[in-house]
Chains A and B, each alone.
Chain A
């Protein structure tokens, strides 16, 4: 079909309420909405410190129609482990426990707890919504911040000079049963992955790229366009990995150069043409490496 009609693949249930405190155009808010649609109401969310600590609403509010536990920055995976253990002890094997963390809570401060839980193959779904910096504290670099990006702690004369951590590969290296990337531009892909993950036992990891207009210095309305471009220019390929071995591209839309993706974000405004070319080279090299993995695993 020439128009991609996806509505039939998107569950109608809404478990996120309006009135939440996300910024206009927030990719993270949308990501939560989609993930909850995929999981349904028998879900419990463990929420370490991140933008979502605010988005969920101050006391006495909540924006979710599922139970939510606000917890400390580095404890997403460990609190989720505990919740799941408790449910098991009380005979509930149906409810999905979700750790919902930002990139800081995943790539950086929460990595130890996540690695521990993944090694133990704890039975939960870990979703990292990645806005590529500490956005809730006002745009400081994290290890998810891409090379060349401006943040308040990597100011433009000296933008971030290290590449983004390959979180998916790290998780795949734990040989967990399911790991995947997804983004809000492709809700059907995202929801299909969450639904697949929902029915897997053990640690499941989904890395969701979630554009942040204030942090990326992009227009509010471009959130979807940017996450789509990220996939198309292969900055953020959509893949899944089963048991750490079988790598698979789930979507491979027509490829685009990386420059338009960068140029639509103020955080990359300072980049010179050679720097953009360098990023393109990095992306190409990583894509080639991914192709090898897909080739080996498939």
Chain B
């Protein structure tokens, strides 16, 4: 930029003509303003919506710049199991995603899965340095237990996880079917945790193989034993042969067994366990009908799970409920002789138990909303019908089995009561996962594990006399309703944030003029006619380039991603690139017009009153 030469040869100080001698930069035109812009990073709704408490927007922004390793690192700070959640989480983040109001939500799960798979391919990490003297015992190696263990190990503690089953993973290993979550993926994630220093003792059922009291050699205990008991149908005849709790059925299959199911399977229930049961039974060769007392819209199951089940050929019978199980001692008269012989052989001469042959059902209709807000199903008079079934799988919800816990761990019905940091009523005991009053999802479980890790860390530090008072839980949340951020707890955010505030950016705060519509990339699925007969993974996610394209669909709500529109549109040349990633506003020249805040596509600039 050329600068004028100095002109000093004027006898009288004033040149002969009005020739400029200086720049307008001598005018502090910033004094005109009464409001001023402030770069103020806020919280993206996906981040608040994530029960794990992941900085989703943050890794999307890194991916936009093709910084995959850093994106992976940012993700792993909060989520120890991204390859798992990328597959099985029902992604409430995508429901929160502002982009859904423009065209379609960003396919966050697919991006997370891509990053998770990338982390699986990376060399195993070195063990986290042990910086604390204390040790923590964890009951259950499901997502909550693994999450808590992971974060505590990274915080410097010695951690031992006690797992009743022969393999770690809990519901990830024994609940979720292989076609949704390959065992190899879970194993990879667990390997990384073990490499970091998490010790997992499998085949140790607390209260049976190990007295609970022995756990208390640890300085703190986190209980995440999960749910094992399926709710009963509560109708006559349900003890008949061929009526199985859905969870037991899934556990058997996940153990590698192939329990015999009849050609006609009826699954009772409308939740995710029901879908897993139905699709698993389908893969075992059955014809499957899901019986649900409300309508499709009321199903608690994830919508995509329902769609996939439908595509694979699962039938649904809505607005119908069983009133009795009908059974017979000779159910399989038309079965091949070999099958009957096998069955009777197994009985070893005992009287054969009655076997289910079907369900007596009634039609339902929906009445007024009940306490849950859903419309209450009511029986239609004279609507009885019979539904033939060789196997009935029940999926009406599950309950924990917590008999091993000391009595002073207070309950609320079947669930353990915890405070906002996951602490139970018993000192030094925390709880999480499906045994507390939260939605029974993998994401909530992982979030509860992290929350407890923070609670345990805080507790142990306080006990050791370190100053951790004054920690404001609200500040640890991603948004007022979000889950806790380990990064915030550790105060080591690698993302430079300008004047962060814990507000969530609403759709109305975005400037949509700067976004073009772009269709969401759809996951790749095995063809339904193929997937319905195999336990191979049904959903293959997105190819990495498509996942990166999805990251570029992200609005980066509330967080400056250096798009520079503020700088480009400033009529007063008052915004410049600062050192590093941020921007600088020259308030001496900013007139407070507000164009930058108005044009910011993502609500990352706030206009504030001058002088405040």
Residue ranges of A at the interface with B (Cβ–Cβ < 8 Å): 1-7, 10, 13-27, 29-30, 33, 41, 56-57, 59-63, 65-66, 68, 70, 184-185, 187, 213, 219-225, 228
Residue in A7, A17, A60, A187 whose CB lies within 8 Å of B25? A17
Interface string of B14-41 (1 = CB under 8 A from A): 0100111111111111001100000000
Which residues of A lie under 8 Å from residue B18 when comparing CB positions? 59-60, 70
- The answer on a CB contact under 8 Å between A2 and B552 is yes
Which residues of A lie under 8 Å from residue B592 when comparing CB positions? 24, 220
Residue in A6, A26, A63, A187 whose CB lies within 8 Å of B23? A63
8 contacts between A and B (CB under 8 A): A3-B552, A14-B1, A14-B573, A19-B27, A57-B27, A60-B22, A62-B20, A187-B569
Given A25-B595, A30-B570, 14 other A-B residues pairs in contact with their CB atoms under 8 A: A2-B553, A7-B563, A18-B586, A19-B23, A19-B27, A19-B29, A20-B29, A21-B27, A29-B571, A60-B15, A60-B21, A61-B27, A220-B592, A225-B513
Q: Is B307 an interface residue (CB 8 A)?
A: no
Which residues of B lie under 8 Å from residue A18 when comparing CB positions? 24-25, 29, 572-574, 586, 588-589
- The answer on a CB contact under 8 Å between B518 and A2 is yes
A25-B593, A26-B571, A223-B571 known; A20 vs B24 contact (CB < 8 Å)? yes
Which residues of A lie under 8 Å from residue B15 when comparing CB positions? 60
Residue in B22, B24, B564, B599 whose CB lies within 8 Å of A224? B599
Among residues of B, the one whose C-beta sits closest to the C-beta of A57 is B24
Q: Is B2 an interface residue (CB 8 A)?
A: yes
Alpha-carbon distance A1/B517, docked complex (angstroms): 9
Among residues of B, the one whose C-beta sits closest to the C-beta of A61 is B24
Which residues of A lie under 8 Å from residue B517 when comparing CB positions? 2
Alpha-carbon distance A32/B601, docked complex (angstroms): 23
Which residues of B lie under 8 Å from residue A225 when comparing CB positions? 513, 598-599
Among residues of A, the one whose C-beta sits closest to the C-beta of B570 is A30
- The answer on a CB contact under 8 Å between A187 and B568 is yes
- The answer on a CB contact under 8 Å between B2 and A41 is yes
Q: Which applies to chain A's interface (DSSP): helix, strand, loop or mixed? A: loop
Q: Is B514 an interface residue (CB 8 A)?
A: yes
Q: Distance (Å) between the CB of A64 and the closest chain B CB?
A: 9
Alpha-carbon distance A223/B26, docked complex (angstroms): 26
Q: Is B515 an interface residue (CB 8 A)?
A: yes
Q: Is B516 an interface residue (CB 8 A)?
A: yes
* A16, A17, A187, A219 — most chain B CB neighbours (10 Å): A17
Q: Distance (Å) between the CB of A284 and the closest chain B CB?
A: 23
Which residues of A lie under 8 Å from residue B607 when comparing CB positions? 221
Q: Is B597 an interface residue (CB 8 A)?
A: yes
Q: Is B555 an interface residue (CB 8 A)?
A: yes
Among residues of B, the one whose C-beta sits closest to the C-beta of A65 is B1
Which residues of A lie under 8 Å from residue B26 when comparing CB positions? 19, 61
- The answer on a CB contact under 8 Å between A224 and B573 is no
Among residues of B, the one whose C-beta sits closest to the C-beta of A12 is B577
* B15, B21, B28, B598 — most chain A CB neighbours (10 Å): B598
Which residues of B lie under 8 Å from residue A56 when comparing CB positions? 24
Which residues of B lie under 8 Å from residue A66 when comparing CB positions? 2
* A19, A20, A56, A61 — most chain B CB neighbours (10 Å): A19
A13-B1, A19-B27, A220-B595 known; A30 vs B569 contact (CB < 8 Å)? yes
A2-B516, A3-B555 known; A221 vs B573 contact (CB < 8 Å)? no
- The answer on a CB contact under 8 Å between B571 and A4 is no
- The answer on a CB contact under 8 Å between A221 and B24 is no
- The answer on a CB contact under 8 Å between A63 and B24 is yes
Alpha-carbon distance A14/B594, docked complex (angstroms): 20
Q: Distance (Å) between the CB of A2 and the closest chain B CB?
A: 4
Which residues of B lie under 8 Å from residue A29 when comparing CB positions? 571-572
Alpha-carbon distance A297/B378, docked complex (angstroms): 70
A2-B518, A3-B515, A4-B515 known; A220 vs B594 contact (CB < 8 Å)? yes
Which residues of B lie under 8 Å from residue A222 when comparing CB positions? 598
- The answer on a CB contact under 8 Å between A61 and B20 is yes
Among residues of B, the one whose C-beta sits closest to the C-beta of A42 is B2
Which residues of A lie under 8 Å from residue B562 when comparing CB positions? 7
- The answer on a CB contact under 8 Å between A24 and B33 is yes
A7-B564, A16-B573, A187-B569 known; A24 vs B23 contact (CB < 8 Å)? no
What 7 A-B pairs come out closest when comparing CB atoms? Answer: A221-B594, A18-B589, A2-B518, A25-B593, A24-B593, A19-B24, A62-B20
Among residues of B, the one whose C-beta sits closest to the C-beta of A33 is B573
- The answer on a CB contact under 8 Å between A41 and B1 is yes
Q: Is B192 an interface residue (CB 8 A)?
A: no
Q: Is B532 an interface residue (CB 8 A)?
A: no
A7-B568, A224-B569 known; A61 vs B23 contact (CB < 8 Å)? yes
- The answer on a CB contact under 8 Å between A17 and B571 is no
Among residues of A, the one whose C-beta sits closest to the C-beta of B32 is A24
- The answer on a CB contact under 8 Å between A1 and B571 is no
Q: Is B451 an interface residue (CB 8 A)?
A: no
Interface string of B76-95 (1 = CB under 8 A from A): 00000000000000000000
Alpha-carbon distance A63/B563, docked complex (angstroms): 26
Q: Distance (Å) between the CB of A129 and the closest chain B CB?
A: 12
Which residues of A lie under 8 Å from residue B516 when comparing CB positions? 1-4
Interface residues of B in 566-612 (CB under 8 A from A): 567-574, 586, 588-589, 591-595, 597-599, 601, 607
Q: Distance (Å) between the CB of A98 and the closest chain B CB?
A: 16
